[in-house]
Structure 1
Amino acid sequence: MFVPVEWLKQYVDIENIDIKDLRDGLVMSGSNVETVEYLGERINKIVVGKILEIKKHPNAEKLVVTQVDVGDEVIQIVTGATNVEEGQYIPVILNGGRLPDGTKIKRGKLRGVISNGMMCSGEELGIEDKALPMHQAKDGIYILDEDYPLGMDIKDVLGFDDHIIEFEITPNRPDCLSMLGMAREASATFNVPLKELKINIKEEVDNIENYASVEVLDSELCNRYVARVIKDVKIKPSPQWMQNRLMKAGIRPINNIVDITNYVMLELGQPLHAFDLDTLAGKKIIVKRAKEGESFVTLDGAERKLDNSILMIADSEKSVALAGIMGGLNSEVTDNTKTILLESANFSANAVRSISKKLGLRTEASARFEKGIDPNTAIIAANRVCELVEELKIGKVVKGVIDIYPNRLEEKVIEIRPKRMNDLLGTDLSNEEMIDILERLGMKVETKQEKFSVTVPSFRLDITQEIDFVEEIARIYGFNNLGMTLPKGNTQGAKTNGQIIEALAKNTLNAVGLNEIQTYSFISPKTFDLLCIPEESFMRRVVKLINPLGEETSVMRTTLMGNMLEVLSRNYNRNVEKAQAFELGNTFIPKSIPVETLPIEKKVLTLGMYGKEVDFYSLKGVIERLFERLGIKDFEYIPEKNHKTFHPGRCANIIYGNHILGVMGEIHPDVMENYDMDIRVYVSEIDFNIIYQIASLDRLYQELPKYPAVTRDMAIVVKDDIYVKQIEAIVKENGGKILESIKLFDVYKGKQIEEGYKSVAYSLTYRAKDRTLTDEEVTKVHEKIVKELEEKLGATLR
């Protein structure tokens, strides 16, 4: 909600409060301030001018040459605007002036004719198109509605010498969706007087009974319906001051009647609607549900199909408005309107929310109704509209009010315990201090022994029980004034084993150079096509969202590889030369199709990398470092040739016992083409649910060895199809207790090696814990290893 400070000052005495203090104070008392903007900050040398003369441009058909009086001189301006006429008052930016967007205007020539300034459009003045008055041409010059003093600063004319505070109003505080509501907050926060809004209608004529009647057939969905009638209406643009306030609040001025209803809505928080009474059949309003399958054309020109759950405003023949949302085209106020029926009603918050969602139609009115509105405001708002009509002399107020209010909302009386408030807040506020805070919030307090009997104003719909007062007292007292205390209890918080494992994994991956990413759990069904996942794959069995934001986020992910490749692709196509990332997140596996119960949430760790010095072994090294830190041993790699996402010759499954921990490898070129990348990318996806089970964080101390080690190197020639793990298994099996470690340090294929074979070189370390080994002991074991390699693998020493 946009709150112009100049307008706010009409209701609360904040004249002497600096804008920064006002912002900070409201933030500390619980109001969420999004932005503070000073409208005139970048405007310079824009003044009121009057067009004295318009002549055709000698060298251009679409340009005119004008003489404009700007107060102390008459200047010549060349323009292409088509909506200018002699005698009009317009905003003019002088030579050397600056527009809100920072553009500077200088004297120059247009097709050979000197132009000493520029006439300004609404857009050039910084007025958003959605707030620009209907009678102002979108691409034309902004025409002022009065004969303002020539040379007057435009900031003073359009109210730009003002700050606009944008608030994010939480759903529990609908009373703050108004100037008066924010004035109450400022009054309580700064302990300054709230200026009472006194409504005085001086003259009323005739009697409303002679003009209209109202019947409410569904009081469950319509809590209150107030109607007033205004006759002899003169439809024209509203005065500039009202237009200024509406535009600053983000509302487009339409005409004086519509503008007044919007003005009062912003002022008091009560939506209103004006009907052309002469278009209402039977001069009657009926509040009832729509007919099943009924069609209705709203003010925006759209035809909408209705059902009998939707509350409508109708006359004796037809529907004329969607209750609480938008009026109909068949009863709108036009330039020919002479008599209006003013609606100030209170509709069920749940009903308006449901209808608005069903029709896909949300308005300023529905945004307020769906959060809940005090029905006692309805009559005040109706009378305020009548007062403004009378003040602007645009109609005569008909005497009398139709007010159907069967279930009156009474003010709540709640008992609270001051001691309980202090105990919960950790404060030591006296009864007098607490009463002062509550009274500043508009509440009445009566002391009863050790309790307060508090009368809550009806506009505070969010306060229903004693505990609600804790926050109210705290925010006005000042959250920053609350002492810092630790909660008392017999329990101590600690991370679960799973959380510890996750934190260790993330820290390890960060330490080896990977950045953590987080992506949406919703993905596009096309992701599986991009990954070349087969049609029959379990990955395509997905949970589909009933009401997705769009096709790109319409299913729950069963793999994180698509998300990872999207991130890597985005970085690569933005000229990031090297990227290494990981994500630890959930996948969602349905128990059955169609989905009837909640899916299985499976935790998955995905690693991804590309770059000049990145290869298959870079990824393998990261995985092994991670497993080392998590205490996972005895895992192995098995080649995988059938995973369509990966290069068939550069992919492996990671095996632990009988479990497939995950998959790793180079992404298939076809997949890389789908993601618009022409480099090699390496990805691994690991089942972290298994990691939780097999990770071992215990570390056993081993004393440093007392006896020296003996190192023997061994180079053997084996066939190409022999895996390293086969060699190492034989070495470990025959190394006995004295084999301490085995390390591969070279794999060679070249001229000295027969085709179809390779040379594999290892460094073997032997050591005994209780003695120094002799050469004979080491040689005996070493020769046994070589012999077994020859017999089982056909290996020969090189």
Structure 2
Amino acid sequence: MKISLNWLKEFIHTDLTANEIAALLTQSGLEVESVEAYEQVPGGFKGLVIGEVMTCEKHPDADKLSKTTVDIGNEVVPIVCGAPNVAAGQKVIVATVGTTLYPTSGEPFVIKKAKIRGAESVGMICAEDEIGIGTSHAGIMVLDTILPNGTPIAEYFDVKEDHVLEIGLTPNRADAAGHWGVARDLRALLKTSLTLPDISKFKVDNTALPIQVKVENAEACPRYSGLSISGITVTDSPAWLKTRLSSIGVRPINNVVDITNYVLHELGQPLHAFDADKIKGQTVLVKTLAQGTPFVTLDEKERKLNASDLMICDAQGPMCIAGVFGGISSGVTANTKNIFLESAYFSADSIRKTAQSHGLKTDASFRFERGTDPNATLLALKRAALLIQEIAGGSISSEVVDIYPAPVEDAQISVRFKNIHRLIGKVLPHQEIESILQHLDIQLINITEEGFTAIVPPYRVDVQREADIIEEILRIYGFDRIELKESLSTDFVASFESKDKHKLQFRISEILAGNGFQEIMTNSLTKPAYSELTSDFDTSTRVDILNRLSEDLGAMRQSLLFSGLEVLAHNLNHKQSDLKLFEFGTIYNRKEKGFKEERYLSLFMTGAQMAESWQHKEQNVSYYDLQAAVLKVIHKLNPSGLVQVSSTKQVFEFGLDLNKGDKTVASLGKLSKKVLKSFDIRQEVYYAEIAWDLLRKYSQSQVAYTEVSKFPEVRRDISLVLDKSVSFANIQKIASKMESRLLRQVNVFDVYEGENLGQNKKAYAISFTLQDAEKTLTDKVIDKTMEKLMGAFESELGAIIRK
């Protein structure tokens, strides 16, 4: 948002420079991103002065040139001039030596001392096209002025130096979306007063052009004000108005439209002017229309209206999308003689929804969808009406319409002084607090030693609670005025992660990349139908996009699985069949109140383990390759107490879950053919998903270290015949329970299934590694330990020990 310094100073008197004002505003929360000098004309007429031609005679060596002497205030200089109308006694515009001229056409050039046909020339007498204010080159400009010689031309043309402040307006500061709003903050910072535009001369001239107004949707339009002006002349705006708008980047159009834009940027209140002769039935209706109603906007595009779009209509149909964009058939043109001027307060939610659905962003919608001042509609309406009368002529030809059935009340917020001092970190005098708030238009009532009640005007949409009042006090008082103590303390203790999550993610990415994985990044928007492929996903918690661009981007993903399979399918279709991929990404779900975002890590493996070579036989990846990769990630974060259980997820043909209590930290397995078929994938794919946020929560930064034993390890092997339903995890669990002191490792080195074992039976060949940290193990201790383990396997698992 751009703010003109000269315009700002019409509201508030100050001698501060643009940079000083920028620093003040930035410290108070209105961040000034840049300060730039604005020149009404290129060069700002620098080096151009009023001169008086003292003598003029024909050049002896050139018929079309004249030799003149010109008084430029501090000296009389000789100038050779080629204009046919130059004469003694004229007041003229002189470009002194060193001046850069910016002609209307052509490139800028610098005035230098010269000899023209043997005659000295120190400067140049200018025509209007040579200084960039016109196109005529018939002769020099002759001025009718009593200003003394040497007076800068900028003073004659009333060209004022200006600076433009570019403010990065945050969405909560809708109150500062205009020069008046910025001036209000500056008033509080400088503890001074404001000067508002004078509307005391406003009066209704006649009632010859009454326009009836009916508001049928008061929820979307709580206040609607308007009036008629007849007998206007639509033409170009005066120079001062064009300059004001151009300085802040607004293109002048015509005097009526320019005035509505001027008041918008001055007071922050959008206005709209209708050609009154085009209002059918002399009636304005504020209402919604049927879904799909066609409407042609000012940009000559036909748009299909939504049933929720608030429209300004006449007796026959729509004229304007309320608060967003005008219609092509009701706007002001060069032939307009009578207008109806609108100044309204629209619901921010209604305007935001309409602007978003139609992809329209205008200066009006920018303000309405953030929240305007319901109490400013009449001020802006009368201000614009007086300017139109001054510039375009005409008479105010109707009473002021002001439909405001349910006035917006001021907010009342209870504030305690002790909370102000606690949150600011400094005890402020009560008088200082009261002064700051009153300069912000926040009145105080029920003042006691403990606190007060703040009365907040409706235009401060961001001030809703006690903490907001305290923030207002602090930003005006100044953050830089709060002294730091020798020992810092806070009002609360925040929890900080012991590990930098970004560094940790980068480290895991390095490990996976080092093991042949490639990182992918996929879109968070996905097809809603994906969550319906299996019963693993709850469609009732799916976050659907209301204004979806397409069905393929209609929902936020509930898993990294499907977007990753899209990548796999794309690569497989391009003959890249050996893939190891991983992705860190966020999944989304709807909660009872609000939404839930969770960070996950996904891994995909398919195709061959490694490239085909004479050294290695081709072998496809297996579930155990994926498991090894997952365990590398898990072990790096060193969580404790993870339990392995068979996965019941429908996306897997078979799989495993790693649980911590009732939370699933990781799931891995072979993807089902049904899921793969949906992506036209015809080869096996192994997939793992790790709840990254949960894993980081359970991670342990400290690693326990035990000194390497001086005594040797002992290995014993046994063969167990078990039911197929018994997993290796069951064996590990029983072994650890029966012998926790000596048992160092349990490992399966062979698995056998066959008819000679019996139906639904399998055989595990298992090795047990034993070690005593304090002494060498004896055969007696080893045999006793193994007998204890085998007895447990027989009694608890029904195992048959093969001798």
Provide TM-score, normalisation by structure 1.
Answer: 0.61
CA contact 2:520–2:581 (8 Å) conserved in 1: no
Kindly indicate whether the alpha-carbon contact (under 8 Å) linking 2:655 and 2:668 is maintained by their aligned counterparts in 1.
yes
* Rg larger for: 2
Residues of 1 paired with 2:322 and 2:509: CA distance? 60
* Superposed displacement of residue 473, structure 1: 1.0
Deviation at 1:464, TM superposition (A): 6.0
Give the secondary structure class of the aligned counterpart of 2:168: strand
Assess if the C-alpha contact under 8 Å between 1:199 and 1:383 holds in 2. no
Stretch of structure 1 that moved more, 403-412 or 177-186: 403-412
The equivalent of 2:639 in structure 1 is: 630
Question: CA shift at 1:264, angstroms?
Answer: 0.8
Residue in structure 2 matched with residue 275 of structure 1 by the alignment: 274
Report if aligned partners of 2:536, 2:651 keep a CA contact under 8 Å in 1: no
Amino acid at match of 1:404: D
Deviation (angstroms), 1:270: 1.3
CA distance in 2, matches of 1:39, 1:745: 80
Distance apart, 1:457 and its partner CA: 4.9
Contact 2:234 2:255 in 1 (8 A): yes
Whether contact under 8 Å (2:35, 2:164) holds in the other structure is yes
Map 1:78-89 to 2 at 5 A: none
Paired with 1:362 and 1:584, the residues of 2 have a C-alpha distance of: 31
1:287 alignment counterpart = 285
Aligned-pair distance for 1:603? Answer: 7.6
Between the aligned partners of 2:395 and 2:425, the Cα distance in structure 1 is 55
Paired with 1:309 and 1:643, the residues of 2 have a C-alpha distance of 42
- How well do the aligned residues superpose, as a CA RMSD in angstroms? 6.6
Q: AA paired with 1:402?
A: V
Instruction: State the alpha-carbon separation in 2 of the partners of residues 312 and 453 from structure 1.
Output: 39
Offset at residue 381 of structure 1 (A): 1.4
Residue 288 of structure 1 deviates from its aligned partner by 4.2
Mapped to 2, the partners of 1:457 and 1:419 lie a distance apart of: 24
2:104 alignment partner AA: I
Which residue pairs with 2:525 in the alignment?
Answer: 522
2:428 aligned residue: 429
User: 1:236 aligns to what?
Assistant: 235
Q: Deviations over 1:8-62 (max 9, x none)?
A: 344334552453x5444323323355x4264779x998999xxxxxxxxxxxxxx
8 Å CA contact 1:238, 1:255 repeated in 2: yes
- Using a 3 Å threshold, how does the CA distance of structure 1 residues 494 and 278 change in structure 2: closer, same or farther? closer
Q: Distance in 1 between matches of 2:671 and 2:289?
A: 62
Aligned to 1:286, what secondary structure does the other structure show? strand
1:90 to 104, 107, 110: 104
Where in structure 2 are the equivalents of 1:393-792 lying within 5 Å? 393-398=391-396, 401-407=399-405, 418-419=417-418, 421-443=420-442, 450=449, 456-457=456-457, 459-460=459-460, 462-463=462-463, 468-482=468-482, 486=489, 510=508, 513=511, 521-524=524-527, 543=542, 545-550=544-549, 551-563=551-563, 583=584, 585-586=586-587, 604-607=600-603, 621-628=628-635, 629-631=638-640, 662-663=667-668, 684-686=688-690, 708-709=711-712, 740-741=744-745, 767-768=771-772, 771-773=775-777
SS in structure 2 at match of 1:374: coil
- 1:604-661 CA distances to partner (integer Å, 9 max, x unpaired)? 54246999999989865553344442235786999x9x99999xxxx98578899995
Aligned to 1:166: 167
Cα distance, 1:439–1:609 mapped onto 2, change above 3 Å: farther
| Percent identity over paired residues | 26
User: Distance in 1 between the 2:323 and 2:660 partners?
Assistant: 65
SS in 2 for 1:165: strand
Q: How far did residue 582 of structure 1 move?
A: 5.3
CA contact (8 A) 1:274 1:333 kept: yes
Equivalent positions of 1:348-367 (< 5 A) are 348-353=347-352, 356=355, 363-367=362-366
Deviation at 1:326, TM superposition (A): 3.3
SS of the residue corresponding to residue 235 of structure 2 reads coil
| 8 Å CA contact retained: 1:545, 1:556 | yes
Describe the superposition over 1:469-498 as per-residue Cα deviations: whole angstroms up to 9, x where unpaired. 222212211234446774568xx7769xxx
Secondary structure of 1:254's match? Answer: coil
Q: Residue deviations 1:38-94, cap 9 Å, x none?
A: 4779x998999xxxxxxxxxxxxxxxxxxxxxx9999xxxxxxxxxxxxx9736444
- In structure 1, what residue type is equivalent to 2:630? I
- Please tell me the residue identity of whatever aligns with 1:186: L
3-state SS of the aligned residue for 1:234?
A: coil
User: Which residue is equivalent to 1:297?
Assistant: 295
Residue aligned with 1:168, SS: coil
Aligned residue in 1 for 2:182: 182
Deviations, residues 690-742 of structure 1 (Å, cap 9, x unaligned)? 9799x79799989757762157899x9xxxxxxx989x99xx99x99977457
- Say if 2:444 and 2:455, in contact at 8 Å, map to a contact too: yes
Assess, with a 3 A threshold, how the Cα gap between structure 1 residues 354 and 597 changes in structure 2: closer, same or farther. closer
Q: TM-score, normalised by structure 2?
A: 0.61
Partner Cα separation in structure 1 for residue 415 and residue 226 of structure 2: 39
Long gaps (5+) in structure 2: 47-79, 84-101, 111-130, 142-152, 514-518, 612-620, 720-726, 751-764, 790-799
Give the Cα separation in 2 of the matches to 1:473 and 1:599.
Answer: 33
Q: Secondary structure at the match of 2:640?
A: coil
Give the drift of 1:335: 1.3
Contact 1:608 1:683 in 2 (8 A): yes
The aligned amino acid for 1:170 is P
Amino acid at match of 2:554: S
Matches of 2:196 and 2:369, distance apart in 1: 26
Distance in 1 (CA, whole Å) between partners of 2:511 and 2:348 is: 52
Structure 1 Cα separation of the partners of residues 324 and 231 of structure 2: 27
Aligned equivalents of 1:162, 1:772: Cα separation in 2: 88
Q: Does structure 2 conserve the Cα–Cα contact (< 8 Å) formed by 1:12 and 1:194?
A: yes
